[in-house]
Amino acid sequence: MTSNLEGWTWIDPPADASDDSRRSREDGEDAVMIAFARCFATIDGQRVLAHLRRLTLDRTLGPATSDGVLRYLEGQRALVAHILTLVARGNLP
């Protein structure tokens, strides 16, 4: 009796696994990145991104700024940075 674990064949994915992984990429994160890239590819989308950058990434606060305001702005910055990352990754070939 031979075992399915002989050699390296047990490590190969099933023949239909590539279709599943392609489908999950199309429905998953890759699709989201592509959607973000399309959404912000227009002139209006670029205008929105520029506005978000000005409000968050290009903004500085003074030394008297409260801890709560700093944390709030950092959360906004993180979100805008995440959006910019998704747009950039969605534009990759």
Q: What is the mean pLDDT of residues 64-89?
A: 96
High-pLDDT (> 70) share of the chain, %: 71
Per-domain residue ranges of the chain: 16-90
Q: What is the pLDDT of residues 7-34, one digit of tens each?
A: 666 556 655 555 554 455 556 889 999 9
pTM score, whole prediction: 0.68
Q: Does the CA dihedral 37-38-43-49 come out positive or negative?
A: negative
Q: What is the mean pLDDT of residues 72-89?
A: 96
Mean of the per-residue pLDDT values for the chain?
Answer: 84
Has residue 5 got a pLDDT over 70?
A: no
- Write the CA distances from 84 to 32, 58, 81, integer angstroms: 13, 14, 5
